[in-house]
Structure 1
């Protein structure tokens, strides 16, 4: 009877955090779209846009280990709810500034820093809680549902943002963000973050560790697991070179190709549609058998797409053809992203011990994003002085070479010892996903 009640509660969690993510991410998507276009429209500089990205990334790099420590040490539910409330307050202050003295880049930068910190703490804590919220058999379904909700929001967010931009004030973007996070807090307050916890009790007699010792223990745990070390280094390299695409995509389409805001929103929506379709597919499938193999293929596909994104800059196309091209490209990018994020997420949820999960996710956050501020500055500068196609093509080639080396067959066999035959690594995705 108790087990049946836990399964019913897990089902409730599946839908609650899906809806919560849908609502909050929808608000964030509209807000981010509006702020991005606002900055590009008033400055026309990729460097200014890159600074906003740095403000959202640098705090995550610095504070991620502390977020991981907090997730393992304190109440997950409390951390998530407090972080969400702080997000609402930060945007409320920005709205007050906008209504009184008007928006400035400094005010936007400061708000981005606060939102980065709050989203870091809620994100790392939530990531380390998935295995506590649902039963082991439905972790892939839970993560797929999570991706589905974000994809649905991302489809509507840019589209709505494109329609609203120029029709309403930037204040409306802030109000949507505040309302969405408020609703998310109410829903998340009903969830039990200890439902499937394997930590029976807190050992009162356990030797007390300082915060620094506790965080070092997380690093030691990662070092003891070769595959986790590989994942951390791959994430670091990938995120550095994806910085070229992150900064360049909006700059190329908006400033270089003069794409209208609504059509730009459609390309962003295509990314979300690709993510949604793939998330639905994975939610109905059995758990991926060889996740790191699928992840490698997904990363290689995204690396190739970064290079392919330069095609309209090299060959003259009509405006309609350019829009269609980027819609298709972003759809494919979305498909690839899910084949990277979901399998690796499930793999980490199941392989990392619960008492270390927060610190490992925090460390992964730090390492994967530590070079991104440098990437933002570097690529922001390069796009202002070097033709965009050369920046993207160079990044694509280096990324492909790095991933092929770092996720070579010998590493794959360490991650999946059952890969006795090298041919398995080269078989189609449908084989490893069945």
Structure 2
């Protein structure tokens, strides 16, 4: 195919990717918010609400590695379209059920499980396809567009969901979600998922699922940089849960902040994501992605201990609000500054035939740490003063980054850094 035609198609993919991801992400957030409000309005039970969250997390944790294997074996476009169609059909099933029998909590739980299954396959297939959809120079822009869609969905989901849930019947609410996924399906059906593929054909491998999974781990052993990065992300997800669990506990129980203000504080993270996603979409490619991400993670790690300051020094309610809004804004900003370069690095460093399995393992690690971290820190916050938990977590996070992303790992990822260091040493010797 002519290179200019490929570039035009890549440009089309870039913006179609943004629109379809924005629609599906916004739809997911609107659906999640609406169903949560429905469960709470019917039961008034926090446990029932939490159960729906568990039914969303468990399928993703269990099925992510399986989804990764399937993504590496079969057409990624077919998997994405099947997942989007499946999501639309699942919500349609819930709509039909509600029209016949009335909406019930068990029906929502069953829908959530299948909804999560479909989104797991769609998400991993889409992520593993980014480097095939656009040229290498615009992978960073595509990854920043992905973050942009998530941040807009994070801000708009609760707003749109609240408006729809408040003014429309639950049936019409579901119809709007179905339409959103149908539009995303139609947009994605026009995309060529093998535009920049380096493989001549998608080979149907004959080994078993277990053998394929083992092959993915064997591949990881040959990629020390990626292995170190996965361990960092696994442990980070564990210890950053101290913030996810602790922030609301601190704002509500310790500082007695008004609920309306807490909502604005939490929106600060999504606003930070939005601002810096736009920044990444506009700026030139990061020269040393892993080094850039290391500095951002260190900033986030230090920021964890900053949350403890209002627990030690008394501020007014107004100052507390501004303080925590800025902290959450910085968390969202640094999250984008961390995730986008890492996403670019993985897209470029992981071989096309292994991307599904690597992203599947990454998803499993990330999702698997959330319930465990929530349980551990949920217990700790009831037993230990919050400021001690945050300071210890901050120090632990910094140590994890310094150990797993040490200079030798950075130089493996970016050989230019080693050459630069050797050049500086030689210059120093000459000066002596």
TM > 0.5 between the two? yes
Q: Does residue 137 of structure 1 match 2:127?
A: no
Moved more, 285-294 or 170-179: 170-179
CA distance in 1, matches of 2:400, 2:182: 42
- Aligned-partner Cα distance in 2 for 1:387–1:180: 45
SS at 1:363's partner residue? Answer: helix
Deviation at 1:209, TM superposition (A): 1.9
TM-score (norm 1): 0.85
Answer yes or no: is 1:360 the counterpart of 2:358. yes
Would you say the 8 A contact 2:233–2:366 is kept in 1?
A: yes
Q: Secondary structure at the match of 1:419?
A: helix
Shift of 1:308: 2.6
Distance in 2 between residues matched to 1:382 and 1:168, nearest whole Å: 41
Shift of 1:392: 3.7
Q: Tell which deviates more after alignment, 89-98 or 145-154.
A: 89-98
The answer to whether residue 281 in structure 2 is matched with residue 275 in structure 1 is no
Q: CA deviation at 1:68?
A: 0.8
- CA–CA separation in structure 2 for the residues paired with 1:301 and 1:3: 41
Displacement of 1:172 after TM fit?
6.7
**Matched residue of 1:375: which SS?**
helix
Counterpart residue number, 2:152: 152
CA distance 1:423–1:264, change in 2 (3 Å): farther
Once structures 1 and 2 are overlaid, which stretch shifts more, 7-16 or 88-97?
A: 88-97
Q: Distance in 2 between matches of 1:241 and 1:336?
A: 16
Query: Post-superposition shift, 1:169?
Result: 6.8
Report deviation, 1:239.
1.0
SS at structure 2 position matched to 1:128? helix
Q: Distance in 2 between matches of 1:423 and 1:52?
A: 55
- Aligned 8 A contact 1:307 1:392 in 2: yes
User: Structure 1 residue 213 and structure 2 residue 211: aligned?
Assistant: yes
Q: CA deviation at 1:153?
A: 2.8
Measure the CA separation in 2 of the matches of 1:253 and 1:98.
38
Instruction: Give, in whole Å, the separation in 2 of the partners of 1:164 and 1:380.
Output: 33
SS of 2:416's equivalent in the other structure is: coil
Q: Is residue 49–residue 247 contact of structure 1 (8 Å, CA) maintained in 2?
A: no
- 1:32 matched to which residue of 2? 32
Partners of 2:381 and 2:173 lie apart in 1 by 28
Which of 284, 293, 296 is the aligned partner of 1:295?
Answer: 293
Cα pair 2:229 2:404 within 8 Å, conserved? no
Which deviates more, 157-166 or 325-334?
157-166
Distance 2:34 2:257 in 1: 15
The Cα shift of 1:236 comes to 0.9
- How many Å separate the matches in 1 of 2:422 and 2:33? 44
Q: How does 1:8-407 map to 2 (within 5 A)?
A: 8-35=8-35, 51-94=51-94, 100-104=101-105, 106-161=106-161, 174-202=174-202, 208-250=206-248, 252-253=250-251, 263-383=261-381, 388-407=386-405
For 1:187 and 1:287, the matched residues in 2 are separated by 27
Whether the aligned pair in 1 keeps the contact of 2:75 and 2:202 (CA below 8 Å) is no
CA distance in 2, matches of 1:258, 1:81: 46
- Larger Cα-atom Rg: 2
Q: Residues 26 and 129 (structure 1 numbering): CA distance in 2 closer, same or farther, change over 3 Å? A: same
Aligned-pair CA distance for 1:176: 4.6
Closer/same/farther in 2, CA of residues 164 and 319 from structure 1, 3 Å limit: farther
Structure 2: where are the runs of 5+ without partners? 424-432
Distance verdict in 2 for CA 1:67–1:255, change over 3 Å: farther
CA–CA separation in structure 2 for the residues paired with 1:36 and 1:314:
35
Structure 1's unaligned 5+ residue stretches are: 425-434
Aligned equivalents of 1:300 and 1:280: distance in 2? 22
Deviations 1:72-97 (A, max 9, x none): 11111111111122223334445566
Match of 1:4 in 2: 4
Q: Could you tell me how far 1:194 is from its partner in structure 2? A: 1.2
> What are the Cα deviations for residues 372-427 of structure 1, in whole angstroms up to 9, with x where unaligned?
32223323344456555444444333222222222222322222222135699xxx
Q: Relative to 1, partners in 2 of residues 1:85 and 1:312: Cα closer, same or farther, differing over 3 Å? A: farther
Equivalent pair of 1:20/1:187 in contact (CA under 8 Å): yes
Q: How many residues align?
A: 421
Q: Which shifted more, 306-315 or 269-278?
A: 306-315
The root-mean-square deviation of aligned C-alpha atoms, in Å, is 3.2
CA contact (8 A) 1:53 1:376 kept: no
> Going by fraction, where is helix more abundant, 1 or 2?
2
Q: Aligned in 2, Cα 1:92/1:280: closer, same or farther, shift over 3 Å?
A: same
Note the alpha carbon deviations across 1:174-220, whole angstroms, 9 max, x for none: 5554332232112111111111111112458xx73222222221111
Contact 1:159 1:265 (C-alpha < 8 Å) held by counterparts: no
Question: 1:23 offset after TM fit, Å?
Answer: 1.5
Provide the rounded CA distance (Å) in 2 between the counterparts of 1:223 and 1:210: 20
Displacement of 1:279 in angstroms is: 1.8
Is the contact made by 2:269 and 2:332 (CA closer than 8 Å) also made in structure 1?
yes
**More displaced 10-residue stretch of structure 1: 286-295 or 152-161:** 152-161
Separation in 1, partners of 2:177, 2:255: 29
